[in-house]
Chains A and B, each alone.
Chain A
Amino acid sequence: MSTATETQRKAPAGERVADWADGRLGIYGLAKANMRKIFPDHWSFMLGEICLYSFIIIILTGVYLTLFFHPSMNEVVYHGSYEPMQGIRMSEAYASTLDISFDVRGGLLVRQIHHWAAVIFLAGMFVHMFRVFFTGAYRKPREINWLFGFLLFVLGMFTGFTGYSLPDDLLSGTGVRFTQGAILSMPIVGTYISMFLFGGEFPGTDIIARFYSIHILLLPGIMLGLVVGHLILVFFHKHTQFAGPGKTNKNVVGMPLLPVYMAKAGGFFFLVFGFISVIAAIATINPIWALGPYRPDQVSTGAQPDWYMGFAEGFVRVMPGWEINLWGHTLVLGVLIPLVLFGVVLAALALYPFIESWITGDKREHHILDRPRNAPTRTGLGVAWVTIYFVMLIGGGNDIWATHFHMSLNAISWFVRIAFFVGPVLAFVVTRRICLGLQRRDKEKVLHGRESGTIKRLPHGEFVEIHEPLSPEQLHTLTAHEQYKPIEIGPTVDENGVERKPSALQKLRARLSKSYYGENNQIAKPTAEEYKEITSGHGHH
């Protein structure tokens, strides 16, 4: 009877709308699983949010810009309101970008928000990616999401490149020329790809229109799909969390989406948007009016790509100009090798999770994050990668370094050439040692307690520092990490006395496993026995 009376009462309007939608979309089922979904809290988890929000900002501002931009290389003579360019020949693309900057009210602001957001989007993805890398968040079941993120990073680079090339100004045109030169270096297909991409010889009259459709439709379309997939997987896997009291591999501890993260994450969108708007108001980015329209026979000094293309630029700048001429053909190694290295360095990042899981042989799910110190080899490799990246950024800006710090350009190029080989090795060794040192300190802290800073003088005159024992929460947190044992090849003779030869791959794997988890490559966690022995009386100082 009670159900009958309940259906009698008129539901509130919101509920009736929800009922309507539920009858068609099944939203109650979705909401049941997701409305109070638990998200763990850590400052580093918001890095990905910065990327998501700057991506949304880029789409919003980008749509606005398409309303005014003319992706055409038709030559016009400028008669707009920017005096220094009066009567100058330029493409319609450049002229319309000047119009957006000087005649459309707010156009300059939107252009600058768009460009700043793109720069921040790429920087955000870079940092977010390394948060995921150094904490091992890419492990099973998240390898595919790592690849989604990796693709977003790479596609973001190319979307950025095609975007800043659209205004057809002197700087970006030079970047396009550089790209064409790099394409030409490809053996056999280079000239064909160049002709097909540019619709003939460089620069031709097609490239801006083609970049336009790539920039506003093709790449962002793919990226939007990847972003949605990335987010669905984050929801589906549930977020990772750091080890701590009450946190296990089988649960997720935090606060619910509604209301806390709805407000925090929703609010954070506005914080990011507001922050970028203020930057766009006070800091000029890409002042194309100061550069002039593109002409293949003109150039300005200090030409630099956007930062995320800087490491590719570095490879191109410091590579010796090797060329091999044989049988009437030219192998342009001086440009081809940088092009290949650009791909190899990025691919290493994409493949790493699979290499690591092959070495560990671990097929279990991982939801508890590693502290970087507890995975010294991984952390060392990550820092080595970042070192290559930043060394190459220096190479990409060698002229800027030379002019700003009054150094020899040749010396900088040589430094980068050497540092490309030496830097990552050094970074790896140093990082791993630091990690091991931090592991030792953690062990010390667990076994002997925290240094309190209080010095006590003993009756016989000895000074000792009082160590305070850690709380059970801290003890658990500092010992919660997992430690692998290195994989052994196993007996080379089986039970019947038949010799079994381990394959080269097995040997390699055992060697790698040892370098990851061997005796000197991780510090054994304190055991309960060690702890009890030390805390039960003697040796407490």
Chain B
Amino acid sequence: MSMNILIIDDHPLLRAGLARLFAVEFEATTAEAPDAQAGLALFRKLRPDITILDLNLPGEGGLSLLQTLRGESVDARVLVLSMRNDVWSAEAALRLGALGYLSKSAPPEMILEAVRHARAGTRFVEPAIAQAMSDSGAGEPGDVWRGLSVQELDLLHLLLEGAKTEQIAATLGIAEKTVANRKSMLRNKLGASNDIEMLQSARAAGFVAG
């Protein structure tokens, strides 16, 4: 039985590579979307068997799209493929219902393996990230980073990339004042007295830009 795979990623060459590999390996039919809006539209139209989702998308971030997709359909099988390889992004994605999590440094065979797992409805997390998650205790109660919402994680990642308030506002489509408010709430939540301290502790905890 042929598989329908939707690839949501802003990188055209990567989408093309994934599509070719899925076609030859699974004889899958693929559809591609460069951003969250187009991705949601295609998802509604095609109801794909598997959705490959990047977290760094222009416009609405990948994590909130994941939330939306799972809200549209509880059966949505979403495999996150992101440059982010920190345990908290993975933890957040799995908490929001992703069936798998892979970083973009994973080898192609592992991506195919994850797709096979997703097709079978079983969870697959890149072993290095899974190991890091169990080592760090991410997702355990009491982990301050676990308490972060999807918006807060997206904001934190944008801040780690060095984005300025106006850029964040433009990316997330919200007012600069809202960005400033969310930022101060995030600081309070993480018990940091300023942005630099917050970003330093985020880096120390294993968050990376992207």
Do the two shown chains form a genuine complex with each other? no
